[in-house]
Amino acid sequence: MKDLFPYLDAWQGAGEAIAVATVVETWGSAPRPVGSKLIATGSGGFTGSVSAGCVEGAVIEECAAVIRSGATRLLKYGVADDTAWDVGLACGGTIRILVEPFAAWQGVYEDLHRRLDAREPLAIVSVLPGPAAPGGRLVVRPDGSAEGDLELQDERQAAVAAALAQLAFGQGVVVPLTEDLTLFVEVYPKVKRLIVVGAVHIADPLLGMATLAGFDTLVVDPRPAFATRERFPQASRVIQGWPDDVLPGLGLDETAFVVVLTHDPKVDDPALRVALPSAAAYVGALGSKRTNRLRLERLREAGLSETDLARLHAPVGLDLGGKSPGEIAVSILAQVVQVCNRSRSAA
């Protein structure tokens, strides 16, 4: 949703009628996950994706119909046999898509905009269409507080509990609450952070790709000439400082993925002494196998346990055979994404 805010703001400012399409359920090899969105205007503009192209044309037509009628629609698309490339999922999956007038979001839009811009984790509860389905939405935060215009009474507590459960799990889901009431819980978990120690050349393509992959990106380096916003304009933050001073204040939890790149033990070793015993989801370090053997010896002498050392991905990245900075950056991000997705599956 956050990526769509600039378009929604611009189109609202221009007085455009808008429809919002959201993937609420998937089966099989669906091309886009639950929560994926496409928005379209009455004048033919659109952005976002609900199927990576398979049924986008049909969904845009449905958006136009919803704008004309003002009525919400719940659609289902699956593999369409011989006509798969007409309106169907050639990948063999099945998806359900909720298409609504943007007015259905107005009651929570400003609050949602502010909180997602601030990277706050939250869940959004809505009700799928039905004979007596109430309108509106509820924004639920990790502490259980909730705000919005969703017209629930006796079911409100159960709806908040369902939202909190899915927020902890990290994925959106359809929840049958009663015989006549089915919720859709959309989840925005804590944002993943790629923390790069070493403002070196490899960091530049790595940060760019990580941003596209949905990570907040931070660069940490004690050298004033290296750690500059001019060198890394795409980074969320550029921090000049020694890693053993900076990293403890960054909250190295399950959202943190730490990559150490300088080749300089004066910078790398202090970073690893902080990161390896922490709760960071991933810690990797650049260097050859020989460099890593010497590094491990130093870290043992510094008091790190074998359990801590076993967490280190070094040489960092998947072995793709690449040599250039861009190729090395691809291998590093590939490993980070692999670890991230394996952790999510295990949860």
User: Residue 218 carries which side chain, given as an amino acid letter?
Assistant: L
User: Residue 333 carries which side chain, given as an amino acid letter?
Assistant: L
How far is the C-alpha of 257 from the C-alpha of 260, rounded, in Å?
A: 10
**Hunting for tokens 């599956």 — which residue is that?**
345
In tens, the pLDDT along 33-49 reads 899 999 999 999 999 99
**What is 211-271 written as a DSSP string?**
HHTT-EEEEEES-TTTS-TTT-TTSSEEEES-HHHHGGGG--STTEEEEE----HHHHHHH
The pLDDT value given to residue 143 = 94
What does the domain layout of the chain look like in residue ranges? 2-104, 120-188, 193-346
Is the CATH number of domain 193-346 1.10.1530.10? Answer: no
Ranges of residues in the chain whose predicted pLDDT is under 70 = 28-31, 52-53, 79-92, 344-347
Neighbours of 80 (CB within 10 A): 15
In tens, the pLDDT along 268-298 reads 999 999 999 999 999 999 999 999 999 999 9
The pLDDT value given to residue 83 = 41
Kindly state the greatest CA–CA separation across the chain. Answer: 71
The pLDDT value given to residue 346 = 56
Question: What are the contacts of 36-40 at 24+ separation with CB within 8 A?
Answer: 37/1, 37/4, 38/63, 39/4, 39/7, 39/8, 39/11, 39/63, 39/102, 40/64, 40/67
Angle at 343 between CA 339 and CA 346, to 5 degrees: 140
Task: Provide the token pair at 42.
Answer: 């009455």
Neighbours of 7 (CB within 10 A): 17
Residue among 338, 337, 339, 318 at smallest CA distance from 327: 318
* CA distance to 283, 286, 287, 296, per residue, from 290 (Å): 18, 11, 8, 10
Question: What are the contacts of 88-91 at 24+ separation with CB within 8 A?
Answer: 88/54, 88/55, 89/30, 89/31, 89/51, 89/54, 89/55, 90/54, 91/28, 91/29, 91/30, 91/31, 91/54
